[in-house]
Amino acid sequence: MSRSVKLAVIAGDGIGPEVVTEALKVLEAATQTEPVTFDLTHFSLGATRFLETGDVLTDDDLAAIIEHDAILLGAVGGVPGDPRLKNANIERGLLLKLRFSLDHYVNLRPSVLYPGVPSPLAEPGEVDFVVVREGTEGPYVGNGGAIRQGSPHEVANEVSVNTAYGVERVVRYAFDVAQNRARKRLTLVHKTNVLVFSGSLWQRIVTEVAAEYPDVAVDYLHVDAATIFLVTNPSRFDVIVTDNLFGDILTDLAAAISGGIGLAASGNINPDRRFPSMFEPVHGSAPDIAGRQLADPTAAILSVALLLDHLGLSDASARVSAAVTADISARTTSGTGAAEPRSTSAVGDAIVTRLTD
């Protein structure tokens, strides 16, 4: 008997539709032999939709999305500086709205430097770590305000909100991830010497939960020091657990050292499964190269691997990862040294071929 998975697809703006097309091809190919079918609903959301209708994400959109088992998102956001988008904050109104409404308290971002992939680092060593970024608290809560806006006496505040409940659940998830990895190492990254209240909370919870995971070795780094180690000794990291904003910053840096944002996948996960989780490449909509088959769909395809894993289809997930690894190593070793640039769909096709041959 075949299980049916309702998948909401938000292709979005810019290169989003192109990379999602390839991701869906791969999803299909990887699950051909599995007892599962995907029932897709395409949602037109993002800057394009806003420019046409004035809506970013309506209550009806959200209600419809919640009916799904999972979400695949390409990228959202219009051309930077477009005056028509001035009053539409697509990031807060769509992307963060989904993450918060669907209680995506784990933002999972693996960083792997695949063999042969160039890194900006002279001696990257082995890069294979996962950032478990908190997704529903911290400075991202939108709890800010300003008075006397536009005047020389303006005061603008932003409140970072952190709860024991919110920190504990993500920390526990991170320990589970660490427990299941070979090196079993967890690094808390924060800025406890300056942000003493939120920092103490994170530190306390990590210490408390650590007692339940005696096999996991725990250490701590200030966020500023963590950026140094990411470029001088990335191999020291196995699992990083950190708050929403620090996670945002560290994962872009992590992507940069491990082959670029074109390879970085992410899962916005609600581990309770009360709401659909959402899988998306870390990259943005890159409107400058959109529609020209120039985008690398690998990050979107690796996000499909995370999606499959979340759905319990771990064999299919492993097949996608293996096909991507093989594709990447073929790119970098194919004869002349410099890889030929391939179109977005050529990359998708090559990975599909590996899955179906």
**Catalytic residue check, 6:** no
Q: How is 214-275 classified by DSSP, letter by letter?
A: TTSEEEEEEHHHHHHHHHH-GGG-SEEEE-HHHHHHHHHHHHHHTT-GGG-EEEEE-TT-SS
Instruction: Respond yes or no: is residue 224 known to be catalytic.
Output: yes
Give kind and range of the element (H or E) at residue 30.
helix 16-31
Select the residue interacting with a second copy from 62, 165, 322, 353 (CB under 8 A): 165
The answer to the question of residue 168 lying near a second copy (CB under 8 A) is yes
> Which letter does DSSP use for residue 338 in this model?
S
Catalytic residue check, 140? yes
| Side-chain half-sphere exposure of 342, counting CA atoms within 13 A | 18
**C-alpha 107: how far from chain center:** 6
Report whether 59 contacts 26 (CB < 8 A).
Answer: no
Closest approach of ligand IPM to the CB of residue 223, in Å:
9
Tell whether 210 is in a known binding site.
no
Q: Which stretch binds ligand IPM (CB under 6 A): 89-97, 145-153, 213-221, 337-345?
A: 89-97
Sequence-distant (≥ 6) Cβ neighbours of residue 87 within 8 angstroms: none
Query: Shortest gap between Cβ of 88 and a second copy (angstroms)?
Result: 11
CA dist 241 and 247 (Å) reads 8
CA atoms within 13 A on the CB side of 186: 28
Which amino acid does the sequence have at 126? Answer: E
Which x/- pattern, by CB under 6 A, does the window 230-259 give for ligand IPM?
A: ------------------x-----------
Q: How far apart are the first and last CA of the chain?
A: 25
Query: At its nearest, how many Å lie between ligand IPM and the CB of residue 172?
Result: 22
Smallest distance, ligand IPM to C-beta of residue 91, A: 4
CA 265 to chain centre: 5
Asked whether position 158 contacts ligand IPM by CB under 6 A, the answer is no
Which of a second copy, ligand IPM, none does residue 160 bind (CB under 5 to 8 Å by kind)? a second copy
- Residue choice 245, 326, 339, 346 for contact with a second copy (CB under 8 A): 245
Would strands 70-75 and 3-12 be described as parallel, antiparallel, or unpaired?
Answer: parallel
Out of 71, 223, 286, 301, which residue is the one contacting a second copy (CB under 8 A)? 223
User: Could you give the CA distance from residue 62 to residue 228 in angstroms, rounded to a whole number?
Assistant: 40
Catalytic residue among 191, 238, 243, 309: 191
Q: Considering the complex, state which of residue 156 and residue 194 has its C-beta at the smaller distance from ligand IPM.
A: 194
List, as residue ranges, the binding site for Mg(2+). 224, 248, 252
Using CB under 6 A, list all residues that contact ligand IPM: 91, 95-96, 193-194, 224, 248, 282
Residues identified as active-site = 140, 191, 224, 248, 252
Using CB under 8 A, list all residues that contact a second copy: 89, 91-92, 96, 119-123, 139-140, 142, 144-146, 148-165, 168, 191, 193-198, 200-201, 204, 223-225, 227-228, 231-232, 245, 248-249, 251-253, 255-257, 260-261
